[in-house]
Structure 1
Amino acid sequence: MNRNKKILNVTMAAGMAAVLGTTPVIAAAQEADNGVSKEETVYVNATAEGEIKDITVSDWLKNSGSAEGDISDVSDLEGIKNVKGDETFTQDGDKVTWNTDSSDIYYQGTSNKELPVDMKIKYYLDDQEITPEELAGKSGHLRMEVSYTNKSKKTVKVDKKDVEVYSPFVMVTGMILSSDNFSNVTIDNGKVISDGDKEMVVGVAVPGLKDSLDLSGDLSDKIDIPEGFTMEADVTDCTMGNTFTMAVTDLLSSLNLEDSDDLDELQDSLDELDDAAVKLVDGSKDLFDGTKKLYDGTKDLYDGTEDLKDGTSQLYDGAKDLDDGAKTLKDGTSQLYDGSKDLDDGAGQLYDGAKTLNTGAGQLYDGTTSLYSGTKTLYDGTRTLYGGANTLASSYNEFDAGVASAKTGASQLNSGAKTLQSGISQYTAGVDSLASGVNSYTEGVDTVNSNMAEYNKGMKSLTDGVNKYVAGGNQLADGVTAYVNGATQLTDGVSTYVSGASALAQGTKEYVSGTSALVEGVGQLAPGIQQASEGISAASAKLTEIAKNVAAAKPETMVKSLNQYADGADSLADGVTEYVGKVGEAASGAASVAEGAKSLTDGTAALVSGATQVKDGIGKLKEGTSYSISQIGDSASKTMKDSAASIREAAAQIETTVTAQSAGVSTDAAAGAISATQSSMSSAIATLQGALGTEGLDEGTAAAINSAIEQLNAGLGNASAAQGELGNIQAQSQVAVQAETNGSSVQESLNAIASTLEGAAGSISEAASASSSTLAGEADKLIAGAASVESGAQTANAGAAQLSTGADSLNSGMAQLKEAGEGQLSTGASNLKAAGTQVRESLTAVSSLIAGLGDLSSMTDSVNQLAEGAKQISEGNEKLQAGYKQLQDTKAAETLTSGADQILNSEKTITDGINTLQGKDNANATALLSGASTLKSAKESLDAGISSISKATGKLVTGVGQIAANSVALRSGASQLTASSDTLNSGASQLTAGTKSLVSGAGTLVAASGQVKSGIAQLKNGAADLRSGASQLRSGANSVNNGTRELKSGTSSLVSGTKNLKDGTKTLKDGAKELNDGAKTLKDGTSSLKDGAKTLDDGAKDLKDGAKDLKDGAKDLKDGAKDLKDGEKEFYDEGIKKLKDTMEDDFQSVLDRLEALQSDDAAYTSFTGKDASMSGNVKFIIETEGFDDGSED
């Protein structure tokens, strides 16, 4: 009995060993089976009290890659998806068929099934039950009770009887508590490990095992198989993180009790248990050694990250220096560009001044030519005058020879006077031509002189521009030197970066090596490390993918963007051209609008005039209509009244006639009266019918007139009847009595007609009066409406005038816009197209740059090594997924992945920047240094050219000043000549008049002959002097003309030279602009490089911090592994070994139950189902929520 009791104790210890160690014996047994099996991990998220929120299940069809054909599986999961490969599946209810491709299947889904083990957590603060929410932030003594309830019952055969047992589960719950909040932590079934900063608590339970073994009596009292655990602690401001619970199902798999028919076989099994426990101790020692290696590797990794951080700092400093140099270069090229613009503007002004000077020189030359022509005419005139004077002297001698020939001489004198007048006319004409030429010459001189200020201004602008150009060239040379120095610094920084990257790669290799050592140790404890290994492999794949994308995707995007920019520039240029055309159309439309507005103004003016006329016409119509209706009414009424009187008179005559008939009197008078009445009634009817045709007659008046016409027609019928009766009277005159009777009847009829006419006359008068009043009222309304129309027309006319003014402004603005559009916008469109062309041409260089990038294999070697290491970890630790997740708290793999991403991205930025800066074989720096040297050497040539131009300008200014001074005197002389010619003309006229008097008074000539002779001598002398002066003037004018011809030739050369200068300054300006644009692009690139280097430096700092955290975590892990090693040894010494030595009793029933619990019938192998042909294993990981008081540190 005692021996069997010891066997049972050893069995319990074996269960504990399986919980804490998951011995290698189990793994070896499973690895021996090469068939397809199903490894299932159930992840449960629960509240802080253990209430389930959601369930996610991960399944691994192990060895399915080696199977041939499709794999049949069973699963009741929802939302199944392949999480690792591309294999597909079909689903029919719970049956799932996978199409394998030489790879194991990993898939995932969700479930809402009840768990086989229920977990409940209760909290007590100072012995009072409390909810987690209420507990958060509280202080006191905490008791936390965790209980597990096994709900998975199975029926098995025990000693050939059906017995219900619980599927064996081992529940291990772990939590990490901060020492700031928890102290004096204890646990009844588990272990507490403290490192000073935190308390690591692990609780263990095997729910249902005690009932399954049916322990009772003394054995039940001596063997305690826990169903849960209780943790107690003193808490301050209580806050708790997540707890993690693992449930494993292979508790008794390490015990081979199927063949234990006797104690010897059981002893062998216990020996195996002892060996397993020894291996567990050895495994914990290996774990400690591995974690120690990991810690050493993380130290090396941390040292490498420090070197990397130092390198990235140097790289960032170099990038900053390079960016500063690029900024200096950009400032220098900007100043150079500004100076070249000023120089180009000055050259333009100089060119414009030279053109103006050339134009003035041409005008001056034309004026001097005219002056020379005038002086020639003047000279010819003076010769004629001198010849006339000689002739006059000769004639005077002949005149003096004889008075007899006085008349003849007088005639000759008259002829000579005419000749003299002609010569004077020619002389004055020459003087006028001379004056005109002198004025033209002086105007040309004034033009030249006035433009000398603009010329001097242009020369100053030229000199200033050249000086600015030289200064900008020096700045550019300094910027180029700074650029070359910055490029050198960049190269040094890149070397440092490469060195740091190598250190990072070495640190990464050491990290992977350390991780491998960790996995080798941890692999003997739990199969959870698989998922972390897969994460490293995924990170490696991501790094490899990024390495490929860096060389391919981004440069193509840049080229595509540049092409889009060029296409956009072309589209914009086309749009601008189209806009210019539309502006032309709009300008034409604006002109039409202006013309239409003018027509509208004219129309509204006519409308105002017409409205006024309508209003006046309605007033006159009112007066005329009222008068016409009154007149028609009065006339009709009078006619009817007159007719009535005539009818009554006829009736009286009829009466008299009847009496006379009786007395033998004739009835002719009565017949005449009736006839006259008929005529009057017909006339009245015609008048009334004419009144009906009057415009504006209202309905009441028309009805009254129609009634009167009907009455008159009736009366006219009665008159005809009366006339017939009168005939009868006349025919029957012999019958006196009968005649009297008939005569009375006629008389009555006529009186009735008269009464009708009088009534109609009254009705017509009243209707005419009413119609006149009605028409007057309607006319007033029309007049008011016409006044409104007139006012509205005036308003419309005023608005039309404003519209016309606005239309004129619109037309003027559109004309200006059209002019600007055809000029500036068209030029801008051309520039846009040219810019698009330049962008396309530059794409060739960009494409060459992209081609030179090559692959990034040299940068990704270390990443590939990391991926290879991750793959080795994945292949060697497929069973350690969950455990590795718990151990890998620091997430160093993600930190490493993030740092590698930053390194790769920054390397591309650096590579692009270096390629852009240096060019092929450092061509950019060489070209810039050569250009800087050329710029400095160009200073001497520019200074010499400016000096030569300044000297020539001084001579030109002096010459123009002299010419301008002489032109004043010349203009004065021309004015005097013009005044003298007027006097001479006047004298010639007087001379002509005098010769006429001389002809009539030759005697007087004889008396004054002495004076005439003296005058002729003076005239001859004056003519000689005038001829001499004209000759000198002609010679001077010829010299002036020749001088202006040379001046014009010189100004033409000056225009040509200044044009060449302007073309050169424009080329310089364009080159300076391109250089400035290139410097801006360089500055943008260095800014991006600096930003990338900063990002890399920050990433290196984060990596360094992460490596430090990893090193600290590895140290904690090493310390924990040491404690675990010590605990495992203590567990073996005080537990396994002691239980083995003290085993006493032998209970066959307990052994039978143990064998039954080991059978497949009792095992819990799948949560979601599996195919009957598969073996299976399942574990549960339950994560509960943490809680705090919601405050932040």
Structure 2
Amino acid sequence: MKKKRFMLGVLAMTLVIPSLLVHAAPATKSSETDEQASTEGEVTSKDEVVYAKLDANGELEEVYVVNTLNVSEAGEIVDYGTYSSLNNLTDMSELIRADDHVEIEAQEGRFYYQGNMSGESKLPWDLSITYLLDGDEITPEELAGKEGSLELKIETSANETVDPVFFENYLVQISLTLEDEIYSDIETEEGVVANSGKNKQITFTVMPEQEEELSLRADVVDFELEGIEIAAVPSSMSIDAPDLDEMTGDINSLSDGVLDIHNGVGELKNGIAELNAGIRSLQNGSEQYKNGIGELANSSSELVSASSSIDEALTTISQSLQVTDDIDLGDLESLPGGLSQIASGLDEAAGGLSLLREHYSVAYSTLDKAMNEIPDHQISEEEIQALYESSADAEVIDQLVETYAASQKVKGTYSAVKEGFDAVDGTLQEVSGAIGEMSSTLTQIATGLATSLEDMDGMNSLAQLEEGLSTLSANYGEFHSGLVSYTNGVGELSSSYNDLHSGMSGLTGGTTELENGAGELHNGTNQLYEATSNIPEHMQEEVDRMISEFDKSDFEAVSFVSDKNENVNSVQFVIKTEGIKIEEQEEVIEEVEEEKTFWSRLLDLFSRG
């Protein structure tokens, strides 16, 4: 019995001594702390790592912060923050929790402690995770173990109730690990897919100040998902400005090319203005020519009628002078007067033709000058195509090309009929001269006839007169036939020229529109040049703006738990969602009573004692 008690005493001592040693250590440390209680410690810097747990839909469940204090001088430290509970991760010393701060007795070096935040805590970002299976939304609990076509959506947005400094300056990285046995045909537009052993790692990056809608699609079997890992760190990388010299050099070349186009369009505009002025002069000259040729055509019938009368009169006189026995020489006394009247009529006709020739000459000269003022530029198809490719107004270019073709057609038509126009003046001069000569001849005949009648000695003189008038009548008949052919030609020319003049009038309207369009085109190329000439400056401004937007290298960290904390070195966020797992069935294990060994029976013996 004494041996039993001795062995129990030894066993009891074995269990108690370690316990005493454990409780003795904090007591020693506590006594050391009490000696330093009056000393105020100093912290050179502080780091915070914010840990958060979300459910599978992204709802916040738990937040705690691991604080790292770099203590340069041991003593009492005050760290600000409101926590529901504390956990010393450095030593066994007590942490005193006040309303908005924590009191710590810390030794020199790094001091770690955990502060658990209340359930009302918020993160700087709101996350929403949605699952769709075969197009229908499904809860995480229902999704476990399912198969089909999965779409997973993650939406990030700013939490307006939290200091925006984190949302504005932190880069958020979202990572998912997808097991090869579960996921296949993975597709994502916003994420980066990488191999992680036999699995796939999907990484999404959300830039500062950005709210995103992220998604991935995959075919799944026996669906399970490890927790989604989310890390947020300051986007403190410095962004170097790119070298834009080569690019801006090319743009300057483009701007110079646009300037050349603008200058070319200016020259084209001036040329079109000259063309339009020439076309207007052409129309005025054509109008005068049309009126003149019309008057000539209208007076042709009168001229032919008068000539026909003269021809008939000459024929009648010639026939009446045939020598017969019954001729009455007294009737011949009226012949000189009749011939003088014919000569006078011919003089009037010659005068009318001379006046018509004068008007025709002026009109034709104006027309010819206007035609010659139409520019004879030869524009190739390649040049026209280059103009279409110059970003100019296509409708204006169509008008340019149409007017250019019409002006060239008019000029070509004029060149083809110019020989006929030239012949009209010479013909009018010849006809007028011939009529003048006939008038002079008739006047001489009338004068000679009057004298001859006074001195007429008989039938011999009458026979000579009859012979001369017959010759004159025959020659005038040929002249009259030519005059009829000429007037017919003038009539056809007048009718045809009306069509030509109508075309010229239409051409004038087209060139006026063309000149206006060229002016608009010139204004457009000027605006294009002004826009392209400033592109290098605009590019540099845009690059600087984008760099300033994403370059957070000047960001200074602030505390997440309290704005009273100073010397904050870094604040990081580590967030993870709850995974989705297939629930395992519990196995019922029947307990089999094992046969007791000697030692177990010995222990039973002591326990009973």
> What residue ranges of structure 1 are gaps of 5+ in the alignment?
13-70, 76-153, 158-165, 173-187, 192-202, 207-245, 261-265, 376-433, 502-858, 861-898, 971-1028, 1145-1149, 1161-1193
Q: What residue number does 2:200 align with?
A: none
Deviation at 1:310, TM superposition (A): 1.5
SS in 1 for 2:554: helix
What does the per-residue CA deviation read over 1:299-338, in whole Å, with 9 as the maximum and x for residues that have no partner? 5544433232212111111111222233333333333333
Q: What residue number does 2:373 align with?
A: 482
Deviation at 1:1083, TM superposition (A): 3.4
Deviation at 1:353, TM superposition (A): 1.8
Q: 1:1121 to 1:943 in 2, by over 3 A?
A: same
AA aligned opposite 1:355: S
Q: What residue number does 2:307 align with?
A: 354
Deviation at 1:962, TM superposition (A): 4.3
Q: 1:1133 to 1:341 in 2, by over 3 A?
A: same
Q: What residue number does 1:374 align with?
A: 326
Q: What residue number does 2:437 align with?
A: 951
d(CA) in 2 for partners of 1:910, 1:352: 50
Q: CA RMSD in A?
A: 5.4
Q: 1:1041 to 1:293 in 2, by over 3 A?
A: closer
TM-score when normalising by structure 1 = 0.28
Q: What residue number does 1:466 align with?
A: 357
Structure (1 or 2) with the greater helix fraction: 1
C-alpha contact 1:315 1:497 (8 A) present in aligned 2? no
1:7 to 40, 45, 49: 49
Deviation at 1:465, TM superposition (A): 2.5
Deviation at 1:1106, TM superposition (A): 3.8
Give yes or no for the alignment of 1:1128 onto 2:552: yes
Q: 1:259 to 1:455 in 2, by over 3 A?
A: same
Q: What residue number does 1:184 align with?
A: none
AA aligned opposite 1:8: V
Give yes or no for the alignment of 1:450 onto 2:332: no
C-alpha contact 1:312 1:1093 (8 A) present in aligned 2? yes
d(CA) in 2 for partners of 1:308, 1:1069: 45
d(CA) in 2 for partners of 1:251, 1:1075: 72
Give the 5 Å matches for 1:641-720.
none
Q: What residue number does 1:1053 align with?
A: 478
* Number of residue pairs matched by the alignment: 395
C-alpha contact 2:396 2:517 (8 A) present in aligned 1? yes
Give the 5 Å matches for 1:1009-1048.
1041-1048=466-473
d(CA) in 2 for partners of 1:1063, 1:355: 15
AA aligned opposite 1:169: S
Q: 1:156 to 1:1104 in 2, by over 3 A?
A: farther
SS in 2 for 1:8: strand
d(CA) in 1 for partners of 2:568, 2:245: 33
C-alpha contact 1:347 1:461 (8 A) present in aligned 2? no
C-alpha contact 1:316 1:1093 (8 A) present in aligned 2? yes
C-alpha contact 1:319 1:1086 (8 A) present in aligned 2? yes
Give yes or no for the alignment of 1:338 onto 2:380: no
What does the per-residue CA deviation read over 1:937-984, in whole Å, with 9 as the maximum and x for residues that have no partner? 8766764564444333321232234446778x79xxxxxxxxxxxxxx
d(CA) in 1 for partners of 2:165, 2:514: 56
d(CA) in 2 for partners of 1:907, 1:963: 76
Q: What residue number does 1:169 align with?
A: 157
What does the per-residue CA deviation read over 1:744-771, in whole Å, with 9 as the maximum and x for residues that have no partner? xxxxxxxxxxxxxxxxxxxxxxxxxxxx
Q: What residue number does 2:264 align with?
A: 311
Q: 1:932 to 1:479 in 2, by over 3 A?
A: farther
Q: 1:456 to 1:251 in 2, by over 3 A?
A: closer
1:248 to 211, 214, 219: 211
C-alpha contact 1:314 1:496 (8 A) present in aligned 2? no
Q: What residue number does 1:1155 align with?
A: 576
d(CA) in 2 for partners of 1:73, 1:960: 121
AA aligned opposite 1:351: V
C-alpha contact 1:364 1:1044 (8 A) present in aligned 2? yes
What does the per-residue CA deviation read over 1:991-1018, in whole Å, with 9 as the maximum and x for residues that have no partner? xxxxxxxxxxxxxxxxxxxxxxxxxxxx
Give the 5 Å matches for 1:203-218.
none
C-alpha contact 1:449 1:964 (8 A) present in aligned 2? no
Q: What residue number does 2:396 align with?
A: 906
d(CA) in 2 for partners of 1:1097, 1:292: 30
> What residue ranges of structure 2 are gaps of 5+ in the alignment?
1-42, 55-132, 143-153, 171-208, 217-224, 561-565, 581-609
Q: What residue number does 2:405 align with?
A: 915
Give the 5 Å matches for 1:860-871.
none
Deviation at 1:4, TM superposition (A): 13
Q: 1:249 to 1:1047 in 2, by over 3 A?
A: closer
d(CA) in 2 for partners of 1:477, 1:171: 84
Q: 1:1052 to 1:167 in 2, by over 3 A?
A: closer
Q: 1:1061 to 1:918 in 2, by over 3 A?
A: closer
Q: What residue number does 1:81 align with?
A: none
What does the per-residue CA deviation read over 1:833-882, in whole Å, with 9 as the maximum and x for residues that have no partner? xxxxxxxxxxxxxxxxxxxxxxxxxx56xxxxxxxxxxxxxxxxxxxxxx
Deviation at 1:1098, TM superposition (A): 2.2
Give the 5 Å matches for 1:778-789.
none
Q: Give the fraction of aligned pairs with identical amino acids, expressed as a percent.
A: 12
C-alpha contact 1:340 1:1065 (8 A) present in aligned 2? yes
Q: 1:1061 to 1:251 in 2, by over 3 A?
A: closer
d(CA) in 2 for partners of 1:6, 1:190: 15
C-alpha contact 1:170 1:205 (8 A) present in aligned 2? no
TM-score when normalising by structure 2 = 0.50
Q: 1:1065 to 1:448 in 2, by over 3 A?
A: farther
Deviation at 1:1143, TM superposition (A): 5.3
Give the 5 Å matches for 1:271-420.
273=232, 277=235, 281=237, 285=240, 288-289=241-242, 299-345=252-298, 347-365=300-318, 367-368=320-321, 372-375=324-327
AA aligned opposite 1:1128: K
C-alpha contact 1:6 1:1142 (8 A) present in aligned 2? yes
C-alpha contact 1:363 1:444 (8 A) present in aligned 2? no
AA aligned opposite 2:286: T
Give the 5 Å matches for 1:26-175.
169-170=157-158
Q: 1:953 to 1:252 in 2, by over 3 A?
A: closer
SS in 1 for 2:552: helix
C-alpha contact 1:306 1:1104 (8 A) present in aligned 2? yes
Deviation at 1:341, TM superposition (A): 3.2
AA aligned opposite 1:170: A
2:491 to 1039, 1046, 1066: 1066
Deviation at 1:457, TM superposition (A): 1.6
Give the 5 Å matches for 1:381-780.
434=328, 438-439=330-331, 446-483=337-374, 486-488=375-377, 491=379, 501=387
Deviation at 1:354, TM superposition (A): 1.3
What does the per-residue CA deviation read over 1:110-139, in whole Å, with 9 as the maximum and x for residues that have no partner? xxxxxxxxxxxxxxxxxxxxxxxxxxxxxx
Deviation at 1:169, TM superposition (A): 2.3
What does the per-residue CA deviation read over 1:867-912, in whole Å, with 9 as the maximum and x for residues that have no partner? xxxxxxxxxxxxxxxxxxxxxxxxxxxxxxxx83x44333333333
Q: 1:339 to 1:72 in 2, by over 3 A?
A: farther
Q: 1:72 to 1:367 in 2, by over 3 A?
A: farther
d(CA) in 1 for partners of 2:155, 2:474: 121
Q: What residue number does 1:1094 align with?
A: 519
d(CA) in 2 for partners of 1:189, 1:1139: 20
d(CA) in 2 for partners of 1:442, 1:1057: 32
d(CA) in 2 for partners of 1:1139, 1:1096: 64
What does the per-residue CA deviation read over 1:439-481, in whole Å, with 9 as the maximum and x for residues that have no partner? 5x55665444334333212111222333443444444443343
d(CA) in 2 for partners of 1:155, 1:1093: 68
